């Protein structure tokens, strides 16, 4: 067996990208937000420094916690790394792994399940709070994510996301409308999934209003670093999937080289980070009871995707 140097390099490049990119995305969001507020803001690389700082701190663990709290960070990180290999967050993939769309969605749900468990585990009032809110939001967003991806799968006659997002499926070439709607629907759903504005304010210090932050109040030091990093990785994956939908909507990328596509994937993710920052700068954090109205936009888009897919299949 000959060692395929090219394949090794590709794998290394891919792994390095998804390991190193997530904090940068967050850095870009924070920097853009700071500029919107007329502030210089922390350096773009600050999230990396923060993670390193957290890793070197000593940890405080509530004595009321069980093994769930201790292992959640590791479980989540490993699941997200698996997802990074499976989910179509970039056009460039070194392995030919089949990735069923339900596997991807429910691996994501499994990370949420563990986060929620660990939030409940510490028994603090705010953990329970955050957990209950997170689950409520997840419940509302889930149909939108499933319907967007399923309608793409239905048109391409496959539930393998690797195949759907491969720029090879000719059934999907002439469906820019479907791709665009799915991309926007997934982007709006991601805002909620990732606890960004207008669902949750990631910069707030007010425990009573938090969703994601409330769940990780008990985590500290390396544990917190892993939780934060997993969350960053989740941002990369979810923004990646919606940016891939948008790229597929542009016929140019169907005919371009792999390198251009790979570059465009990264650029599109960063662009989405900037747009998140813009949204967070001009939008107000919505009242909790108004959130279903916001999620309805995403669900409506996903339902339009279903209509398009149905129309296509009926022909």
Partner 1 sequence: MKIERIEMSLSELHEKLPHTLGKNSENRLGLLTSIDGGQLATLLLNPKDGTAGLLVSPLENNSYRSFTPQLAQFHWFERALFDFFGIVADGHPRFKHLLLHDQYEGDFFPLRKIALPANFQNVLPRRYEFFEVKGEGVYELPVGPIHAGVIEPGHFRFSCFGETIVNLEIRLGWVHRGVEKRLTEVPWQKAHFVAEAAASDTACANAFAHAIAIESILEVKVSERAQYLRTIALEIERLAMHVIDVGGIGTDIGLLGISSAMGRLRGKALALADLISGSRFLRGFIFPGGVRPVSERKLSEIKAGVIGLRKDLAPVIQILSENQMATERMKDIGRLSRSLAQEFGMVGILARACGIEYDSRQCFEQGKFPELAPPITTELGGDILARTRVRIGEIATTLDTIEKLLDGCPHGEDKITLPASLPANATGLGIVEATRGELIHLIFTDEAGKICRYSIKDPSFENWTAISIAIRENLIADFPLCNKSMALSYSGNDL
Burial of 239 (0-12, 13-18, 19+ CB in 10 A): buried
Site string for partner 1, 13-52 (x = CB under 8 A): --------------------x--xxxx-------------
Is-contact 246 271, C-beta < 8 A? no
Which range touches partner 1 (CB under 8 A), out of 83-91, 102-110, 196-204, 299-307? 196-204
Out of 10, 50, 100, 207, the only residue in the binding site for partner 1 (CB under 8 A) is 207
- Give me the least distance between CB of 238 and partner 1, in Å please: 21
Nearer residue to partner 1 within complex by CB, 48 or 288: 288
Nearer residue to partner 1 within complex by CB, 58 or 203: 203
CA distances from 279 to 5, 30, 45, 58, 276 (A): 43, 12, 22, 36, 5
Maximum separation of any 2 CA atoms in the chain, in Å: 62
Out of 65, 204, 220, 256, the only residue in the binding site for partner 1 (CB under 8 A) is 204
Closest CA to 252 of 146, 173, 149: 173
The two tokens of residue 223 are: 């544990």
Out of 286, 296, 300, 306, the only residue in the binding site for partner 1 (CB under 8 A) is 286
- Give me the least distance between CB of 11 and partner 1, in Å please: 41
Nearer residue to partner 1 within complex by CB, 153 or 202: 202
Under rule CB under 8 A, residue 2 binds partner 1 = no
Give the integer Cα–Cα distance in Å for 12 and 283: 39
Per DSSP, what are the bridge partners of residue 100?
A: 160
Give the integer Cα–Cα distance in Å for 290 and 285: 10
Give, as ranges, the residues between 222 and 281 that touch partner 1 (CB under 8 A). Answer: 280-281
Out of 58, 203, 257, 315, the only residue in the binding site for partner 1 (CB under 8 A) is 203
- Give me the least distance between CB of 63 and partner 1, in Å please: 19
Nearer residue to partner 1 within complex by CB, 208 or 314: 208
Rounded to the nearest angstrom, the gap between the alpha carbon of residue 55 and the centroid of all alpha carbons in its chain is 23
Angle (nearest 5°) at CA 30 between 202 and 13? 105
Contact residues for partner 1 (CB under 8 A)? 33, 36-39, 125, 129, 197-198, 201, 203-209, 280-290
């Amino acid at each position: 067996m000959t060692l395929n140097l090219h394949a090794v390099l590709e794998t290394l490049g891919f792994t390095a990208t998804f390991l190193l990119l997530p904090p940068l995305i967050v850095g870009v969001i924070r920097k853009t937000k700071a500029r919107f507020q007329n502030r210089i803001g922390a350096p773009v690389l600050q999230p990396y420094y923060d993670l390193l700082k957290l890793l070197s701190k000593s940890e405080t663990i509530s004595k009321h916690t069980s093994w769930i709290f201790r292992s959640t960070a590791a479980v989540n990180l490993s699941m997200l790394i698996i997802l990074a290999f499976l989910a179509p967050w970039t056009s460039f993939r070194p392995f030919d792994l089949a990735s069923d769309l339900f596997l991807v969605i429910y691996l994501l749900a499994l990370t949420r399940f563990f986060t929620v468990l660990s939030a409940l585990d510490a028994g603090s009032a705010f953990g329970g709070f955050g957990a209950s809110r997170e689950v409520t939001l997840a419940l509302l967003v889930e149909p939108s994510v499933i319907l967007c991806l399923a309608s793409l799968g239905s048109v391409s006659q496959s539930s393998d996301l690797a195949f759907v997002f491969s720029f090879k499926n000719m059934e999907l070439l002439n469906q820019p409308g479907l791709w665009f709607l799915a991309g926007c629907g997934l982007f709006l759903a991601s805002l909620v999934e990732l606890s960004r504005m207008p669902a949750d304010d990631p910069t707030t210090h007010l425990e009573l209003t938090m969703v994601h932050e409330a769940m990780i109040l008990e985590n500290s030091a390396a544990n917190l670093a892993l939780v934060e990093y997993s969350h960053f990785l989740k941002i990369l994956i979810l923004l990646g999937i919606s940016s891939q939908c948008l790229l597929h909507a542009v016929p140019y990328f169907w005919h371009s080289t792999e390198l251009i596509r790979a570059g465009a994937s990264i650029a599109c993710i960063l662009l989405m980070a900037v747009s998140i920052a813009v949204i967070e700068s001009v939008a107000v954090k919505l009242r909790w009871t108004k959130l279903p109205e916001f999620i309805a936009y995403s669900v409506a888009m996903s339902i339009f995707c279903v209509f398009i897919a149905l129309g296509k299949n009926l022909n």
